[in-house]
Amino acid sequence: MSNYLGLLDLAIAGVPALAFGIWQLVSINREIARDKAKKASASPESPRHAVGEHGLNDR
């Protein structure tokens, strides 16, 4: 009987934690894919650095 209680404890604590971890991994991967798609579709006239103050040919 005590062996089954250990499995029950694992199911109660481990399965939700594992599911949450998988959900977070999928969510992050989707966000990375969205960012890559947005970056690929940016116009060539848009600034290429983080601040966004200058155009491509400004020096």
Residue pLDDT tens, the chain, 59 long? 777 998 898 899 999 999 999 999 999 999 999 988 888 776 656 555 666 666 666 66
* Amino acid code (one letter) for 22: I
Instruction: Give the pLDDT confidence score for residue 43 in this predicted structure.
Output: 61
Instruction: Give the pLDDT confidence score for residue 51 in this predicted structure.
Output: 63
DSSP secondary structure string, the chain? -HHHHHHHHHHHHHHHHHHHHHHHHHHHHHHHHHHHHHHHTS-TTS--SSS--S-TT--
Instruction: Give the pLDDT confidence score for residue 37 in this predicted structure.
Output: 86
> Rounded distance, CA 42 to CA 37, Å?
9
